[in-house]
Structure 1
């Protein structure tokens, strides 16, 4: 009767090469750390400059008006008539206590006031206007 070999006598070991796994994990971590700031895009606009404090990006609900006059709730584009219907529902849904308006530097003042009026008509307690800090201001 042939003798059975135990695990140590066969010479075959079933081990995971942890070094390769760690190398891949660290490489992916570095890639994500480098690309994460680039992924925070949103709607591309040139904001006006003013003496201002920075607003935390995760706080509240943000409405954006781009250079073409297109209105965005967060990153979703909406027509102005849709905005009038959707905005109050989104404020209630998210329970937003802070609402912010970002507008491109080239948007006509009348368009900004029109969107601001629709935001105030939605019974929002306060609307903040977002601008970039002036150069040299920290």
Structure 2
């Protein structure tokens, strides 16, 4: 019987590929969970409505926060820049939906003034965001 003089190298478990796979799976779940959550934009307390419906078409969100400031998306705009900011987005070229997210504590006249400005856009449809299922 012949015994080798060189001992066999001990078996090793290489965990680097396993770490790569774990990080790839983790990245997939993080990115997919971000896409599943609906980003509502700025924090406002919306009024409730039992007849609320979900809109699925392309839309531009205009937010009026509790202090009356106007935001297009998440960018603050002045009153005179509202129409210009919406037109630069380019999503309302053939008429589209503008969703107004106004805090429930905002003065009614302020919301109507914003709606009046938005109605000057050609072919625009207006919607007011509410919390569904609340009286």
TM-score by length of 1: 0.71
Unpaired stretches in structure 2, ≥5 consecutive residues: 1-13
- Residue number in structure 1 paired with 2:4: none
2:119 aligns to what SS in structure 1? helix
* Cα shift at 1:113: 0.1
1:114 aligns with 2:113: yes
* Cα shift at 1:123: 2.4
2:114 aligns to what SS in structure 1? helix
1:63 aligns to what SS in structure 2? strand
Q: Which runs of 4+ in 1 moved over 6 A?
A: none
Unpaired stretches in structure 1, ≥5 consecutive residues: 1-14
- Residue number in structure 1 paired with 2:82: 83
Q: Kindly report the root-mean-square deviation, in angstroms, between the aligned alpha carbons of the 2 structures.
A: 2.8
- Residue number in structure 2 paired with 1:23: 22
Count of matched residue pairs:
119
Kept in 1: contact 2:61–2:72 (CA 8 A): yes
CA–CA distance in structure 1, aligned partners of residues 18 and 83 of structure 2: 56
Query: What CA deviation, in whole Å up to 9, does each residue of 1:68-96 have, x standing for no partner?
Result: 10101111110111114433x236x2235
TM-score by length of 2: 0.72
Kept in 2: contact 1:64–1:73 (CA 8 A): yes
CA–CA distance in structure 1, aligned partners of residues 76 and 21 of structure 2: 42
CA–CA distance in structure 1, aligned partners of residues 113 and 63 of structure 2: 13
* Cα shift at 1:24: 1.7
